[in-house]
Amino acid sequence: MNEENKSIHEFDLELICEYFANLKRQGPGSPEVTIKALSFIDNLDDKSRIADIGCGSGGQTMVLAQHAPGNITGVDIFPTFIDLFNRNAEKLGLQDRVKGIVESMDNLPFQDEELDLIWSEGAIYNIGFERGLHEWRKFLKTGGYIAVSEGTWFTEERPAEIEEFWMSVYPEIDTISNKVAQMQKAGYIPVSTFILPENCWTEIYFAPKVEADKRFLEKNAGNKAAEEFIANQQHEARLYNTYKEYYGYAFYIGKKI
Ligand SMILES: C[S@@+](CC[C@H](N)C(=O)[O-])C[C@H]1O[C@@H](n2cnc3c(N)ncnc32)[C@H](O)[C@@H]1O
């Protein structure tokens, strides 16, 4: 495999955690996008149960909590992120209705039909879009919603370099129409889909990484794995700048029927 196209899963997990813990968001997104996706959800009240899966340190969860009623459980596999998540909830006075737990998205601790809303920004790829939609569906009440953002092709065809990159890191990337069809097949009414604006990647995700990369390399000077990890992150940013007309993230919002 081309070294530059290594998937994030192939790096030392502690290093990845240390790096991403210093960032507000661990993936592309923005408060405006979270609020826009939430505007399609019409079933929530104070008793609602919401799960944010692959929540990271909770950048988007706190926005969700400030704009939606109900109780939110953030789920992430990394304890470092969940510690930060719970501290962030406390800082914002949200700790009574926003709690982070350490668990894997393929072993969620919810009861059947317990949830009114499943949220997941830039994280369902860890289990796979189709598998996640199928496996998580049972946790939703009938009429409950799922809202996920996911890597998406914007065109039918694209240059070989970007095609090869995605095929090696996440071959399940697909076009909006194919993803919507998958959502429908998995038992949801596709309610809405929209493409995340470019600033979710450039301003919110990549820009803070420039300083984070510098600090991380200083702290881990001489560590080959750390250097390789940062080179890989920077490669991803360069690819985005070159090929952003061809791919990005889209939000997919569906209602369980
Ligand atoms: C790209 S980040 C997105 C984080 C956050 N939702 C955001 O948008 O800023 C993906 C998240 O999925 C989490 N993750 C990876 N594998 C997981 C698993 N098996 N179960 C739960 N979370 C997982 C990672 O720890 C990370 O926080």
122-142, pLDDT tens digit by residue? 999 999 999 999 999 999 999
Helix/strand/coil (H/E/C) assignment for every residue in 19-50: HHHCCCCCCCCCHHHHHHHHCCCCCCCCCCEE
Whether 29 contacts 200, CB under 8 Å: yes
Query: Is pLDDT of 1 > 60?
Result: no
By alpha-carbon position, which residue is closest to atom 14 of ligand 1?
A: 54
- Give residue 9 CA to ligand 1 midpoint distance, Å: 11
- pLDDT attached to residue 12: 83
Query: Is pLDDT of 4 > 50?
Result: yes
- Give residue 104 CA to ligand 1 midpoint distance, Å: 9
CA 34/CA 196 separation, integer angstroms:
10
Ligand 1 close to Cβ of residue 49 (< 6 A) = no
> What is the value of pTM for the model shown?
0.95
**What is the chain's alpha carbon radius of gyration, rounded to the nearest angstrom?**
18
Q: 3-256: CATH homologous superfamily?
A: Vaccinia Virus protein VP39 (3.40.50.150)
Tokens of 160: 């070989």
Q: Which of 19-23, 122-126, 185-189 is least confident?
A: 19-23
How crowded is the C-beta side of 122, counted as CA atoms within 13 Å? 22
Taking Cα atoms as reference points, which of 8, 42, 44, 38 lies closest to residue 26?
8
Whether 64 contacts 52, CB under 8 Å: yes
Sequence spans of domains, the chain: 3-256
Taking Cα atoms as reference points, which of 220, 141, 125 lies closest to residue 228?
220
| Helix %, strand %, coil % of the chain (to 5) | 45, 20, 30
